[in-house]
């Protein structure tokens, strides 16, 4: 791929998402959130590409993965009005459908098309299959990290807003119950594991899940950027004051800065 193909993809993206905004106010807010997310994931990806010393060609492929990784979110929200895959369809698979139906990668080298599709296909799995080898593995790791870096931003910004102004689908419909936290989520975080989405019952659990992602980052650059951005202390500051939570958060922060 070359630079002009990325510019072309970027214009395609703008044209593709535009019609999804012609909807009611709540839906438009959720769609705008994903458009902005995509742009910010592209920025995080550029930071990671330079931090991890990618070649120019690798950086271009990484940009394409970032730009396209969530295109499935738009048809997903239009059809089901949710970003919860378990209540609709796998948004990574939907993204591949969009890429193929719209022939977004026509003209791109076949092996590069495959690389981009594979990275997108596995970007949202709890754990990508161990059998996947480089170079696909590299792009999967990059998009998973860039995606998380921006999901943290979205969530931290959202928590700073009054509940009635929040984009509803961003918190996956979880109730905001101040003071409530599930013990099993705290235990998971404190054991250095990634908290599973299907064990979360409220927004505080979801914060623990997001803090636990520190254990899932794949590169020193991602960990450095996360530390610089300060998202983990920002999330932790909104959790109930409890010794077991403080211990689990401290452990995550120590891991990050080690
Ligand atoms: Fe994403």
Q: How far is the CA of 155 from the centre of ligand 1 (A)?
A: 12
Q: Please report which confidence band the pLDDT of residue 179 belongs to, taking 50, 70 and 90 as the band edges.
A: very high
How much is the average pLDDT of 35-59? 97
Q: How far is the CA of 116 from the centre of ligand 1 (A)?
A: 14
Q: How far is the CA of 150 from the centre of ligand 1 (A)?
A: 8
Q: Please report which confidence band the pLDDT of residue 194 belongs to, taking 50, 70 and 90 as the band edges.
A: very high
pLDDT at 129: 87
Q: How far is the CA of 233 from the centre of ligand 1 (A)?
A: 22
pLDDT at 168: 75
Q: Please report which confidence band the pLDDT of residue 231 belongs to, taking 50, 70 and 90 as the band edges.
A: very high
pLDDT at 133: 86
pLDDT at 237: 96
Q: Quick one: which of 28, 220, 67 has its CA closest to 150?
A: 67
Q: How far is the CA of 241 from the centre of ligand 1 (A)?
A: 30
Q: How far is the CA of 70 from the centre of ligand 1 (A)?
A: 5
At residue 83, does pLDDT exceed 90?
Answer: yes
Output the six-digit token pair for 23. Answer: 């909807």
Q: How far is the CA of 198 from the centre of ligand 1 (A)?
A: 19
Cα–Cα distance measured from residue 167 to residue 145, given in angstroms and rounded to the nearest whole number = 23
Asked whether the beta carbons of 209 and 197 are under 8 A apart, the reply is yes
Q: How far is the CA of 80 from the centre of ligand 1 (A)?
A: 18
The upper half-sphere exposure of residue 29, i.e. CA atoms within 13 Å in the direction of its Cβ, equals: 11
At residue 139, does pLDDT exceed 90?
Answer: yes
Q: How far is the CA of 242 from the centre of ligand 1 (A)?
A: 31
Cα–Cα distance measured from residue 62 to residue 41, given in angstroms and rounded to the nearest whole number = 11
Whole-model pTM? 0.93
Q: How far is the CA of 69 from the centre of ligand 1 (A)?
A: 6
pLDDT at 102: 97
Q: How far is the CA of 153 from the centre of ligand 1 (A)?
A: 12
Neighbours of ion ligand 1 (CB under 5 A): 70, 147
Q: How far is the CA of 4 from the centre of ligand 1 (A)?
A: 24
Asked whether the beta carbons of 41 and 144 are under 8 A apart, the reply is no
pLDDT at 247: 97
Q: How far is the CA of 147 from the centre of ligand 1 (A)?
A: 5
How much is the average pLDDT of 182-198? 96
Q: Quick one: which of 225, 68, 52 has its CA closest to 142?
A: 52
Q: How far is the CA of 37 from the centre of ligand 1 (A)?
A: 7
Asked whether the beta carbons of 224 and 202 are under 8 A apart, the reply is no
The upper half-sphere exposure of residue 126, i.e. CA atoms within 13 Å in the direction of its Cβ, equals: 9
Cα–Cα distance measured from residue 140 to residue 218, given in angstroms and rounded to the nearest whole number = 10
Residue length of the chain = 258
Q: Quick one: which of 104, 105, 131 has its CA closest to 1?
A: 105
Q: Quick one: which of 234, 231, 236, 230 has its CA closest to 248?
A: 236
Q: How far is the CA of 118 from the centre of ligand 1 (A)?
A: 15
pLDDT at 126: 81
At residue 10, does pLDDT exceed 90?
Answer: yes
At residue 111, does pLDDT exceed 90?
Answer: yes
Q: Which residue has the higher pLDDT, 164 or 116?
A: 116
How much is the average pLDDT of 160-179? 84
Q: How far is the CA of 42 from the centre of ligand 1 (A)?
A: 10
Q: Please report which confidence band the pLDDT of residue 130 belongs to, taking 50, 70 and 90 as the band edges.
A: confident
């Amino acid at each position: 791929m070359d630079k002009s193909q990325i510019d072309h993809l970027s214009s395609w993206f703008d044209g593709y998402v535009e019609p999804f905004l012609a909807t009611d106010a709540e839906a438009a807010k959720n769609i705008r959130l994903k458009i902005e997310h995509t742009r910010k994931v592209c920025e995080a990806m550029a930071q990671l590409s330079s931090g991890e010393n990618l070649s120019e060609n690798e950086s271009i492929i990484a940009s394409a993965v970032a730009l396209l990784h969530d295109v499935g979110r738009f048809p997903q929200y239009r059809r089901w009005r949710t970003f919860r895959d378990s209540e609709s369809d796998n948004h990574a698979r939907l993204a591949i459908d969009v890429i193929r139906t719209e022939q977004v990668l026509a003209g791109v080298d076949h092996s590069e098309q495959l690389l981009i599709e594979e990275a997108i296909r596995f970007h949202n799995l709890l754990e990508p299959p161990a059998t996947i080898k480089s170079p696909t593995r590299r792009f999967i790791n990059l998009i998973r990290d860039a995606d998380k870096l921006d999901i943290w931003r979205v969530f931290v910004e959202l928590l700073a807003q009054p509940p009635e102004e929040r984009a509803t689908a961003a918190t996956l419909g979880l109730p905001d119950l101040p003071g409530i936290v599930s013990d099993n989520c705290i235990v998971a975080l404190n054991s250095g594991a990634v908290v599973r989405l299907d064990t979360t019952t409220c927004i505080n659990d979801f914060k623990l899940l997001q803090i636990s992602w520190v254990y899932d980052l794949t590169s020193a650059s991602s960990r450095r950027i996360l530390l610089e951005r300060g998202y983990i202390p920002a999330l932790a500051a909104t959790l109930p004051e409890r010794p077991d939570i403080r211990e689990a958060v401290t452990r995550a922060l120590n891991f990050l800065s080690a």
